[in-house]
Amino acid sequence: MKKAREILEFTSRYTRRVIRWKWRQALLALELEMNDLFFFNTNVLLTRPEKRPDTFQLIDTQFQGETLSVLNVLAPEHRTTYLNWLIGWNRVDDTQTVWKEITKTDPPDPVLATRYVHFLVGRNKIVPAAAIWQELTGIDGVTNSGFEKKATHTGFDWRYSAARPGKWRIQRVGSPVHSGDFALEITFEGRENLSFSHLQQIVPITSHLPFKLTYAWQSQDVTTDQGPFVEVYGYNCKGLYKRGQMMRETNSWQKGTIDFTPPEGCRAVVIRLRRLPSKRFDSLISGRVWLDDFRLEAK
């Protein structure tokens, strides 16, 4: 055992950055209970993206999934990749532990923070996700309310499918606008009796008092008896559904209003543009709708 340790220490000294040796050296160090050398070799392996999945699995197994113990032996530059690895394995509680440690001293990387918020929202961890989002964006309410920025389609930002050829098209436009420099234009192609629900935003809420959602809309030549409308419903909670008026035919800028009160236990609501299929013969919807200036306020 002693001789084996001496040989491993000698070879490790002369191959400190030779990646092809590191996996075997890490396994041997683990077998020989040479923890410092094991941690050194695994940190070297983590510098190579293709080595990270197996290396994190090895370290995690060694510490029996104890996240703080893993963090104690990781070089600081590997903490974010460790977080991404935990996200990939859907270990929600462990990711929160790592996030807390990562952000103790330094502000989070915006790209990483956005990805992490998206992950938390998808696991219905609205409260921690909202706290990170507000710190990242400074927004309390509707994100990108006037479509002045390109949507990220993640977290609490707008999410939509930009285009389905022959069905619809969604794009930011500089005209017409209700205010600011941009609005969102939704074009219906007139080839199908669409069931449309492909534009939405999840909005965190912190109280169960009455709210008022306002927004601006304009329409041009929207056909059929079933026009699009804005709706609000609870995100992973029951007992809330409200909808605004249909947007049909041609209208100049109008103000839409939806009043609602979230039920107890509801942490977020969904704002969504919806269109229900028509039951009439003339059912193929065409025309354009513009949206702008969403505001959510407690009454």
DSSP structural state of residue 263: P
- On average, the pLDDT of the chain sits at 91
Report d(CA 66, CA 64) in Å as an integer.
6
Task: List, as one string, the DSSP characters of 121-159.
Answer: HHTT-HHHHHHHHHHHH---SSTTTT--S----STTS-E
| The pLDDT of residue 107 | 86
Homologous superfamily (CATH) for 159-298: Galactose-binding domain-like (2.60.120.260)
Retrieve residue 92's tokens.
């929600």
| The pLDDT of residue 269 | 98
pLDDT in tens, 118-166: 999 999 999 999 999 999 999 989 999 999 999 999 999 999 987 899 9
Is pTM, for the whole model, over 0.75? Answer: yes
Residues of the chain with pLDDT under 50: none
Whether 98 contacts 79, CB under 8 Å: yes
Closest CA to 180 of 188, 172, 191: 172
pLDDT in tens, 81-107: 999 999 999 999 999 999 999 999 888
Q: In what order do the strands lie in the sheet with 268-275?
A: 159-160, 196-204, 268-275, 229-234, 241-243
